[in-house]
Amino acid sequence: MTTATPTVGAGVQATGTPGRAARVRKRLNSRTATLVSIVIALLWTIPTFGLFISSFRPEDQIKTTGWWTFFSDPQFTLENYQEVLFSTGSSGQLASYFINSLAITIPSVLFPLAFASLAAYALAWINFKGRDWVYIAIFALQIVPLQMALVPLLKFFSTGVTVAGVQILPAWDLVDEQKFAQVWFAHTCFALPFAVFLLHNFISQLPGDLMEAARVDGATHPKIFRTIVLPLITPALAAFGIFQFLWVWNDLLVALIFAGGGDETAPLTVRLAELAGTRGNEWQRLTAGAFVSIVVPLIVFLSLQRFFVRGLLAGSVKG
Q: Which of residues 122-141 bind other proteins (CB under 8 A)?
A: 122-123, 126-129, 131, 134, 138, 141
Is 1 a binder of other proteins (CB under 8 A)?
no
Is 41 a binder of other proteins (CB under 8 A)?
yes
Out of 283, 284, 307, 311, which residue is the one contacting other proteins (CB under 8 A)? 283
Out of 10, 181, 210, 228, which residue is the one contacting other proteins (CB under 8 A)? 181
Cα 264 to Cα 25, 47, 87, 177, distances in angstroms: 55, 32, 16, 5
Interhelix angle for 283-303 vs 79-86, to 10°? 90
Is 17 a binder of other proteins (CB under 8 A)?
yes
Out of 77, 160, 221, 279, which residue is the one contacting other proteins (CB under 8 A)? 221
Print the binding letters for residues 228-267 with other proteins: x by CB under 8 A, - otherwise.
Answer: ------------------x--xxxxx--xx------x---
CB of residue 141 to other proteins, shortest distance in Å: 6
What is the residue-wise DSSP string for 22-81?
HHHHHHH--HHHHHHHHHHHHHHHHHHHHHHHHTTS-HHHHHHS-GGGGGTS----SHHH
Instruction: Report the 10 Å Cβ neighbour count for 83.
Output: 19
List CB contacts of 52: < 8 A, sequence separation 6 or more. 287, 291
Pick the piece of the chain touching other proteins (CB under 8 A) from 2-10, 13-21, 202-210, 233-241: 13-21
List CB contacts of 130: < 8 A, sequence separation 6 or more. none
Pick the piece of the chain touching other proteins (CB under 8 A) from 2-10, 203-211, 233-241, 275-283: 275-283
User: What is the number of H-type helices and E-type strands within the chain?
Assistant: 16, 2
Alpha-helix runs per DSSP H in 217-282: 221-224, 230-232, 234-250, 253-258, 268-278
Q: Considering the complex, state which of residue 4 and residue 28 has its C-beta at the smaller distance from other proteins.
A: 28
Which residue, 177, 183, 187, is CA-closest to 113? 187
The sign of the CA dihedral 10, 121, 226, 185 is positive
Out of 10, 85, 210, 228, which residue is the one contacting other proteins (CB under 8 A)? 85
210: enclosing H helix or E strand: helix 208-216
CB of residue 226 to other proteins, shortest distance in Å: 7
Q: Which residue type is seen at 91?
A: S
Residue 68 phi, psi (nearest 5)? -70, -20
Q: Considering the complex, state which of residue 148 and residue 166 has its C-beta at the smaller distance from other proteins.
A: 148
Is 58 a binder of other proteins (CB under 8 A)?
no
Q: Considering the complex, state which of residue 161 and residue 213 has its C-beta at the smaller distance from other proteins.
A: 161
Is 20 a binder of other proteins (CB under 8 A)?
yes
Is 2 a binder of other proteins (CB under 8 A)?
no
Strand partners, 169: 161
| CB-based contact 263:131 (threshold 8 Å) | no
d(CA 154, CA 187): 13
Is 210 a binder of other proteins (CB under 8 A)?
no
Is 290 a binder of other proteins (CB under 8 A)?
yes
Is 219 a binder of other proteins (CB under 8 A)?
no
Number of residues that bind other proteins (CB under 8 A): 135
Is 312 a binder of other proteins (CB under 8 A)?
yes
Out of 34, 75, 158, 167, which residue is the one contacting other proteins (CB under 8 A)? 34
Touching other proteins, residues 161-180 (CB under 8 A): 176-178, 180
Out of 78, 114, 136, 213, which residue is the one contacting other proteins (CB under 8 A)? 114
CB of residue 210 to other proteins, shortest distance in Å: 18
